[in-house]
Amino acid sequence: MPRPVLSLCAPTSILSQLIQDGYHTVSDIDASQRPPALPAVKPPQPAQSAWSLACQLHAQPYFSTYIPELDTLLGGRGLPLGEVCELVAYPASEIASLCLRLCLAIQMPPGNKCAVYVDTTGSFSQSVARKAANAFSSQQSAVSSDSLLENIRVLRIHSADELHALLVAIDEQIIPNVGLLLINSITWPFIASLDIFRRQSMHAEVAKLLAQIARKHKIGVVVVSHAKSDSSLLAKPEPMDGSVWTEISANSLAIHHSPLTKNMCISLTHSSTYPAGMQGLPLDTLNFC
């Protein structure tokens, strides 16, 4: 079987450009001639000391989820700003409630930012959002449920091309006062694409844009990744898109059933900001709404 271009060790932008220009396998590329569309590779960044990297991690800004147990699971500070985080879950789980909770939490001091909720499945419910806002405002008396809902900007996206165009627009000019970009779900727009090379290329481009938006605009980016269906509900969910979103995520959280209690659980399955926090947490203690 021919070796795919995506197996090459090269930046995602170069791999994406190669595929768009028709180079789908390594054999398509003439080793004696550099493809004309191949952009120049930037020189590597200067090496940093482990101490400077540790200092950067310590200085990383965060925002509280206003769910104390979840903040503790994430190292006591919540979700990082300037990073991408992945939520892996089955579509029918409590993931929508958690997404809304994060959109409400980003509005609290000291940030007082608004959230952009990108709905790719058509599952955003105004009644569920109202219920979540009412419950949150009853706990935080300084804010009203109306103002909380006003600060959640909902965008409906139907395809991977639409999502890519939206992210390009956001990268060029961020919506004012945004602190959180949440996509529910990142998987759905790509399901309809039957061309595997096109899908892989778009995955690479969208992943690059998400990481770039988070770093450039110092906002939190949260993506919901659909899990593969499994005959065992107790199995920890595996992302349908593989590791494409996990690789750009500072934290990856999985929502699943606990093998001991059979209740819903949330686990930190991958983390670059809190590598020691890989334990699970029962969802019934989180009180999303």
Residue 19's pLDDT is 63
Residue 133's pLDDT is 95
269 and 206 belong to one structural domain: yes
Asked whether residue 168 is domain-assigned, the answer is yes
CB atoms closer than 10 angstroms to residue 283: 22
Total domains present in the chain: 2
114 and 9 belong to one structural domain: no
Split at pLDDT 50, 70, 90, the class of 36 is: very low
Asked whether residue 126 is domain-assigned, the answer is yes
Residue 31's pLDDT is 46
pLDDT digits (tens, 9 = 90+) for 74-122: 888 899 999 999 999 987 667 888 999 999 999 999 889 999 999 999 9
125 and 196 belong to one structural domain: yes
20 and 139 belong to one structural domain: no
Q: How far apart are CA 179 and CA 90, in angstroms?
A: 26
Helices (H) and strands (E) in the chain, counts: 9, 10
pLDDT digits (tens, 9 = 90+) for 188-231: 999 876 677 788 888 999 999 999 999 999 999 999 999 987 65
21 and 70 belong to one structural domain: no
Residue 99's pLDDT is 94
Q: E strands within 109-236?
A: 114-119, 152-156, 178-184, 220-226
Asked whether residue 45 is domain-assigned, the answer is no
Question: Residue 246 is part of a domain; what is its CATH number?
Answer: 3.40.50.300
Please, are residues 132 and 289 in contact by the beta-carbon 8 Å criterion?
Answer: yes
Domain that holds residue 144: 60-285
Sorted by sequence, the CB contacts under 8 Å of residue 110 that are 6+ apart come out as: none
Asked whether residue 10 is domain-assigned, the answer is yes
Q: What single-letter amino acid sits at 208?
A: K
73 and 15 belong to one structural domain: no
Residue 7's pLDDT is 62
134 and 201 belong to one structural domain: yes
76 and 6 belong to one structural domain: no
| pTM recorded for the entire structure | 0.79
Q: How far apart are CA 194 and CA 9, in angstroms?
A: 25
Asked whether residue 37 is domain-assigned, the answer is no
Name the β-bridge partners of 268: 253
26 and 159 belong to one structural domain: no
CB atoms closer than 10 angstroms to residue 86: 27
150 and 7 belong to one structural domain: no
State the DSSP string of 75-125. TSS-EETTSEEEEEE-TTSTHHHHHHHHHHHTTSTTT--EEEEEESSS---
Asked whether residue 44 is domain-assigned, the answer is no
Q: How far apart are CA 200 and CA 186, in angstroms?
A: 14
Please, are residues 115 and 107 in contact by the beta-carbon 8 Å criterion?
Answer: yes
Asked whether residue 52 is domain-assigned, the answer is no
85 and 174 belong to one structural domain: yes
Asked whether residue 43 is domain-assigned, the answer is no
173 and 264 belong to one structural domain: yes
146 dihedral zone (left: phi>0; alpha: psi -120 to 50; beta):
alpha
Token code pair at residue 198: 């096109």
In 3-state terms, what secondary structure has residue 215?
Answer: helix
Please, are residues 250 and 74 in contact by the beta-carbon 8 Å criterion?
Answer: no
